[in-house]
């Protein structure tokens, strides 16, 4: 049975690639948000027409992106949420809350210095990791019962 894993959060490093590579050989289908930052920001107006007001420019794009992200989360067996070093990343926390309310098992990934600020998110998670390698090891263990050597 294929495991559907949604990779939410930070889009400025290649952590998704690391997770995917670490899961080589496993029957996992990975999904996630559009990681092309410019396309993600402008998809609404690029397709549906320009907006004079930045607020509605953003709204249009957020609506289109939500079709993809909600679909990904709702069809996921596991949701991984990565908090990076920069930016507010409220959408990552939003996704974690959304996934939790749906009863999806959540794996949170962040640096130790964010632990206090993320304590509510961590509490709602099944596992709190620091590195993509750890996430991959968890997924491998979940699917095969094998621990890293």
Instruction: Report the site for a copy of itself in 42-71 (rule: CB under 8 A).
Output: 42-44, 46-48, 51-56, 58-71
The CA-to-CA distance between both ends of the chain, in Å, stands at 25
Q: Whose structure tokens read 């968890």?
A: 138
Sites for a copy of itself among residues 7-26 (CB under 8 A):
none
| Total residues in contact with a copy of itself, by rule CB under 8 A | 86
What is the DSSP code string of 66-105? HHHHHHHHHT-SEEEEE--SSS--HHHHHHHHHHHHTT--
Contact residue for a copy of itself among 17, 29, 50, 111 (CB under 8 A): 29
CB of residue 32 to a copy of itself, shortest distance in Å: 10
| Paired tokens of 57 | 């420019």
Sites for a copy of itself among residues 96-115 (CB under 8 A):
96-103, 105, 107, 114-115
């Amino acid at each position: 049975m294929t495991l559907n894993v949604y990779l939410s959060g930070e889009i400025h490093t290649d952590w998704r690639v690391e997770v995917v590579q670490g899961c080589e050989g496993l029957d996992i289908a990975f999904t996630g948000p559009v990681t092309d930052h410019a396309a993600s920001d402008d998809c609404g107006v690029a397709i549906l027409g320009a907006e004079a007001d930045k607020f509605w420019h953003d709204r249009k794009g957020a609506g289109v992106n939500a079709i993809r992200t909600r679909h990904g989360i709702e069809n996921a067996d596991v949701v991984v949420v990565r908090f990076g070093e920069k930016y507010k990343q409220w959408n990552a926390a939003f996704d974690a809350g959304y996934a939790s309310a749906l009863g999806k098992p959540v794996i949170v990934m962040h640096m130790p210095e964010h632990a206090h600020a993320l304590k509510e998110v961590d509490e709602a998670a099944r596992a709190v990791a620091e590195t993509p390698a750890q996430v991959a090891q968890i997924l491998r263990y979940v699917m095969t019962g094998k621990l890293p050597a």
